[in-house]
């Protein structure tokens, strides 16, 4: 009877330790993701010169990478109401910013799909992520954004 109780106690302790390690791992991972999202917003603001708060961030959750796409309006207006500049951000957070590997422009009121993108630069241009060869009529000019750390 004593050895059965010892085995059960040992098993419960091991399960408890496993749950504790999993919880700590999850909290640390979420903290890193939150810091990355704050850095993504700051990087977009610094790179574009716009202090907008309503930007969309799409994280690569399938590939488990640190590649994020951050899109925001090129001129004042509601979210998605204007043409958007989307920046592809990669790598670690250093000094509260991340590296811009490239980007593209997205037509107003459109979902982020290849057929709605134009003026690719950097990595997206090399990957052929833009479906429009030229900006649609009435689109704002697509000034280049510096690739690298802002």
pTM exceeds cut of 0.85: no
pLDDT at 6 over 70: yes
Tens of pLDDT along 64-115? 677 889 998 887 777 778 888 999 999 888 888 898 999 999 888 888 889 9
Q: How high does pLDDT run on average in the chain? A: 80
Phi/psi at 6 (nearest 5 deg)?
-60, -45
Tens of pLDDT along 104-118? 998 888 888 899 999
CA dihedral 115, 112, 65, 101 (to 10 degrees): 70
pLDDT at 2 over 80: no
pLDDT at 33 over 80: no
- At 87 the pLDDT is 92
């Amino acid at each position: 009877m004593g050895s059965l109780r010892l085995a059960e106690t040992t098993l419960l302790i091991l399960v408890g330790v496993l749950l504790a390690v999993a919880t700590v791992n999850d909290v640390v991972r979420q903290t890193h993701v939150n810091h990355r999202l704050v850095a993504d917003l700051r990087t977009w603001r610094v790179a574009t010169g716009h202090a907008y708060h309503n930007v969309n961030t799409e994280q690569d959750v399938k590939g488990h990478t640190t590649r994020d796409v951050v899109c925001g309006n090129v001129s004042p207006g509601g979210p998605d109401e204007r043409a958007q500049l989307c920046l592809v951000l990669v790598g670690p957070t250093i000094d509260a910013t991340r590296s811009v590997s490239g980007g593209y422009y997205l037509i107003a009121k459109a979902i982020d799909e290849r057929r709605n993108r134009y003026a690719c630069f950097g990595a997206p241009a090399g990957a052929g992520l833009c479906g429009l060869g030229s900006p649609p009529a009435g689109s704002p000019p697509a000034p280049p954004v510096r690739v690298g750390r802002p």
